[in-house]
Structure 1
Amino acid sequence: MGSQMQAGTIQQIRDGVITEGPVYLQVSALHPLGKKHKGVYSDGTDSIEAVFASTVSQLIESGNISNGCVVKLISFTCNLVNDSHKLISTECEVESAPDAGTTEQPSVKAEPKESNIASPTKENMPSNLKVEDRASSSPIANKKVKFEGTGSNTPHAVRRDSESVKTPAHPRIASLAASSRTPQPSPSEQPTPAPAGPPMDSPGLLVGSAKKAVLPIAALNPYNMNWTVKARLVKKGPKRSFSKGGTQSTSVFSIELVDEQGTQIEASVWRDLADRYYDLLEESKVYYVSKGKVKPANKTYSSMRNDYQLHLDSGSEIEECPDQDTSKMQAKLSIVPIDQLSLFIGKK
């Protein structure tokens, strides 16, 4: 089974030591996720949650990739989502079929969460603090405590209130209690970073570095907002302006992009960014696009064969790429049987 699989590969991917293929991993626990699939990758000793891009999902739907087989990952990216790593596969090949009788499916191991807050114990609690109920292992004291040697024999109750901790038992406990009440924004609510592009009166686009770390378009997902893609601008639509309820006019236009893997995606450029860049962007040129929002594509208005589309606003960045080689940036062509052509009318 997978003679080229090596133990420790997954941990090296998590640590960023391995960032590109080929690597060899075993597949298990496959299940559909919309037009994509999820599963688990294993290197024999460790495992990680796997997300298969739509291009790889076609191999799963056709039966070429199944539970237990070993695949050669050629192109992939590893993202940290909600304290858990996910390995997103954008290109892979079947290395070997499942072994006969292989039924065991490894589960994803929980990753340890680092914490520098010590739980209150006899050693690290203040000497005058006595916990009457030691059954709870929670780091937040929600039990009655009493202070000895304070000049009073009356025990003082410490309780956890919905607004604040009235009498914190320990400075570190108070710090943890405060952090646990701080609301954490979901990925869709996180503000887009401030723009680092040219100012409004800039005469042209910034030229980006030739050594930027880029993701393939197929690896984009709504949970990762810190991304950069390198793509050729295939088509630029007309700029439109509209206003609602007498508010200030808003500008928007659409562009179509394709990367070196031949994956296409549509992007909407909004507001200040639309006014700033519309006359500067040129079709057939290569650009770095980053820090936009990845949203599900609205198939009613988009004919692009991609499950996502990009939303670029004032916090996004567009830079001209110094390398203008477009020889590999051509849209992939799919072979379609003649009797199924009607299903692709109006699509690209």
Structure 2
Amino acid sequence: MASYQLTAGICSRLADVTNIEDDILNSSPTIQFLSFKKVAPTTNGATTVDRYRIIISDGEHFLQAMLATQLNHLIEDERIKKHSIAVIDKFSCNLVQDKRLLIILALTIVAKEATKIGNPTALQAPTVADTTNTTPAPGAASAGASSTTTTPTAAPPQPPRQQGRAGRPAIYPIESLSPYQNNWTIKARVVQKSDIRTWSNQRGEGKLFNVTLMDETGEIKATGFNQVVDELYDKIQEGKVYFFSRARVNLAKKKFSNIQNEYELSFERNTEVEECIDATNVPTIRYNFIELAKLIDLTKDSVCDVIGIVKEVTPLTEIISKAGKTLQKRELTLVDRSGYAVRLTLWGKQAESFVSDDQPVVAIKAANVGDFGGRSLSMFSTSIMQVNPDIPEAHALRGWYDAAGSEQTYQAYSNVGAGAGAFVQFDRAEILPLNEVKTRELGASDKADAFSARATIMHIKTDNIAYPACQTQGCNKKVLEGHDGWRCERCNKSWDKPHYRYVFPMACADYSGQAWLQGFNDVGEVLFGMTANEAIEIRDRDDIEFTKVVERAVGTAYNFACKAKQETFNDMTRVRYTIIKMMPLNYREEGKYLADLLRRSDWSKS
């Protein structure tokens, strides 16, 4: 196995709390990993991002360090292991409880597999004699140790933490903040600033604002109340970099924040905010984009980052909230390369100020996933939207759309999933016989109930198998034929021809009984293997061929994810069973599930 040269003495130099030279901070030392340990969350039960404590070695000594959360995947994907060799490209050093803590921000893997180099030992903490300034008495040089006397002089105060290049205290990374630290300074970019919000209740009135701060290691939310709002709101500008200190670190209230940090900051009267002129090495917004087609895999109220082209924009409208407040609202239709379109709702000033020129690219950080119309997106108060951002993903999307995407047809999330059943998933372990669905009276209350079923299609009603829908992405409203074509009252547009969408009931049966299940567009495309436009074209051209298409679909078994919900129509109340997702049987998966079930049952012992 190849031999590797580690940077000798780097651990002792990094651990020296009395001094750390600039050339060390700008170096790229080669080290070896000795161990990794996941740090257990210390919050009130809220989900937090995993963090890893690591031990590094230079062959002579070892030193404790932390891995920045953006590098977690290196451990989780086993790209680095025990005894791996790496070059630390970027790091910071911070003083925690009188010990130097190394934060690794970026690294290059030299060798994934290696043998342990040397026999590294722990660094010895400096003793009192090491850090006390003493002056030997005359003649002490020739005297024995027992006769040595010292005359203490005034010792310079030890710095509480590392001093920066301009005498500024050391900059702590955001991910190292905790309620157990008092004196700290962070250098962070304000990536989002909210409007000033007011409240009034039995305990009084007040106002607040919050900001999202970001550095290389992560994000954190900060909030200012009442008098602090007057002092800091105008001073803190979105997009700029500041030094922040003397704020209180609290446990994050996850109910009011979507930021992945177990702590948050509270600005106080003595909080110091100073603009940073040198804003290098402070990132702008960091995204983790998902394709619009994958929104189907997310649960309701999930948070995600998306990027898309604004294909449609609705006019600004006003709605009255349940609390009686007037809210400004605007809806955008976003599309991307996955071939899907989704509706994004903007509120307040963001809705008022949005200008859609030439179908821009928008990138949204921390959008909320809703279930209106199957899948939809909306903005939190802490969500961030950039129009035509200068990032590679935006440039690639712009080029694709201008070249081909503008002529493409997109799949809109249909209304089949509207309501509580939008995020129903099929679960083999929870399959219910159709008769039991009825005897349990699922859906009989005001709330929709989800269930999984496996049944065979016995009959399909084809009298009105599809309806003429609006061609606007995300609309799907029924259109009526008039003198000027097929008109959509919602969009106030007319079309030469409609875009047909499936809607039909079908009788399905299993060993226990039969039930009528309602299918919509996605279900029809799976069932018939063609779009509703194609099916209607066949029906209008040849009744016999259309009948054959329907007959081929009958007699096939499927797995169903459904919701049951009580509905009232013409003064008659009944429970409707709606198919959220329909999947052909995969016999390999079914067999594997049964085999696993047999192994778990351990029948051999019975």
Indicate the TM-score class for this superposition, using the shorter chain for normalisation: 0.5 to 0.7
- CA distance in 1: counterparts of 2:94 and 2:193, whole angstroms: 31
Corresponding position of 2:36: 30
Whether 1:226 aligns to 2:183 is: yes
Q: Which runs of no fewer than 5 residues in structure 2 stay unpaired?
A: 41-49, 133-145, 148-165, 305-365, 367-606
- CA distance in 1: counterparts of 2:248 and 2:272, whole angstroms: 12
Corresponding position of 1:345: 302
Contact (CA 8 Å) 1:263, 1:331: kept in 2 or not?
no
AA partner of residue 114 (structure 1): V
- CA distance in 2: counterparts of 1:221 and 1:106, whole angstroms: 31
Contact (CA 8 Å) 1:77, 1:219: kept in 2 or not?
no
Contact (CA 8 Å) 1:239, 1:252: kept in 2 or not?
yes
Match 2:74 to one of 42, 59, 67: 59
- CA distance in 2: counterparts of 1:55 and 1:45, whole angstroms: 29
CA 70–332 in structure 1, closer or farther in 2 if over 3 Å, else same:
same
- CA distance in 2: counterparts of 1:210 and 1:323, whole angstroms: 15
Corresponding position of 2:12: 11
Corresponding position of 1:235: 192
CA 83–217 in structure 1, closer or farther in 2 if over 3 Å, else same:
closer
Match 1:44 to one of 50, 59, 73: 59
- CA-to-partner distance for each residue in 1:5-41, whole Å, 9 max, x for gaps? 1221112212312224422211112111131011211
Contact (CA 8 Å) 1:28, 1:106: kept in 2 or not?
no
Contact (CA 8 Å) 1:31, 1:37: kept in 2 or not?
yes
- CA-to-partner distance for each residue in 1:247-297, whole Å, 9 max, x for gaps? 8x66532101233x3843221224543331123322233322223244443
- CA distance in 1: counterparts of 2:125 and 2:197, whole angstroms: 48
- CA distance in 2: counterparts of 1:13 and 1:325, whole angstroms: 23
Contact (CA 8 Å) 2:35, 2:82: kept in 1 or not?
yes
Contact (CA 8 Å) 1:262, 1:329: kept in 2 or not?
no
Which one has a bigger Cα radius of gyration? 2
CA 339–98 in structure 1, closer or farther in 2 if over 3 Å, else same:
farther
Counting aligned pairs with the same residue, the percent is 26
- CA distance in 2: counterparts of 1:236 and 1:99, whole angstroms: 47
- CA distance in 2: counterparts of 1:93 and 1:295, whole angstroms: 35
- CA-to-partner distance for each residue in 1:135-160, whole Å, 9 max, x for gaps? xxxxxxxxxxxxxxxxxxxxxxxxxx
- Report the alpha carbon displacement of residue 325 of structure 1 after superposing the two structures with TM: 7.8
Contact (CA 8 Å) 1:27, 1:69: kept in 2 or not?
yes
1:300 match: secondary structure: helix
TM (norm. structure 1) is: 0.60
What does residue range 1-348 of structure 1 map to in structure 2 within 5 Å? 3-15=4-16, 16-17=20-21, 18-34=24-40, 35-100=50-115, 102=116, 108-114=122-128, 214-240=171-197, 251-259=207-215, 261=216, 263-323=218-278, 329-336=283-290, 338=294, 342=298, 345-347=302-304, 348=366
Task: Work out which structure has the larger RCO, using CA pairs closer than 8 Å and 6 or more positions apart in sequence.
Answer: 1
- CA distance in 1: counterparts of 2:238 and 2:254, whole angstroms: 24
Contact (CA 8 Å) 2:59, 2:118: kept in 1 or not?
no
CA 70–214 in structure 1, closer or farther in 2 if over 3 Å, else same:
same
TM (norm. structure 2) is: 0.37
2:239 match: secondary structure: coil
- Report the alpha carbon displacement of residue 312 of structure 1 after superposing the two structures with TM: 2.3
- CA distance in 2: counterparts of 1:224 and 1:13, whole angstroms: 21
Contact (CA 8 Å) 1:2, 1:96: kept in 2 or not?
no
Contact (CA 8 Å) 2:60, 2:120: kept in 1 or not?
no
- CA distance in 1: counterparts of 2:207 and 2:295, whole angstroms: 42
Q: Number of aligned pairs? A: 255
Name the structure where strand makes up a greater proportion of residues. Answer: 2
- CA distance in 1: counterparts of 2:13 and 2:296, whole angstroms: 44
Contact (CA 8 Å) 1:74, 1:92: kept in 2 or not?
yes
CA 293–14 in structure 1, closer or farther in 2 if over 3 Å, else same:
farther
- CA distance in 1: counterparts of 2:283 and 2:167, whole angstroms: 17
Contact (CA 8 Å) 2:189, 2:240: kept in 1 or not?
yes
